[in-house]
């Protein structure tokens, strides 16, 4: 199974859940569901699940920054500037 976006001329593309199979040596596809009314986030989550991944809900901002330190070369330049009194 896979998700396919089929372009339409003057309207938004159709988002379809499809299955491919072989019949008499030819590859054919069957539409299982029309997902056009689903939000893009939900379609992307289903696409990840179909590929064998794990889809997690958005956690917002799970981390809180307590303090940040400058990179080492900037810390060295800042230390030298402070020693020189700049």
- Tens digit of each residue's pLDDT (9 = 90 or more) over 29-72: 999 999 999 999 899 999 999 999 887 777 777 778 788 776 77
18 has pLDDT over 70: yes
pLDDT of res. 70: 65
Q: What's the whole-model pTM score?
A: 0.60
Contacts of range 2-9, beta carbons closer than 8 Å, 24 or more positions apart: 2/50, 3/35, 3/43, 3/46, 3/47, 3/50
Residues 4, 35: Cα–Cα separation, whole Å = 10
Residues 5, 12: Cα–Cα separation, whole Å = 10
pLDDT of res. 43: 93
pLDDT of res. 25: 95
pLDDT of res. 54: 84
């Amino acid at each position: 199974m896979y998700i396919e976006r089929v372009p339409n001329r003057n309207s938004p593309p159709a988002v379809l859940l499809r299955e491919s199979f072989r019949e008499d040596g030819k590859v054919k596809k069957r539409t299982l569901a029309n997902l056009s009314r689903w939000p893009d986030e939900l379609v992307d989550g289903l696409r990840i699940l179909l590929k064998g991944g794990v889809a997690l809900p958005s956690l917002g901002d799970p981390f809180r920054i307590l303090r940040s330190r400058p990179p080492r070369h900037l810390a060295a330049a800042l230390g030298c500037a402070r020693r020189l009194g700049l």
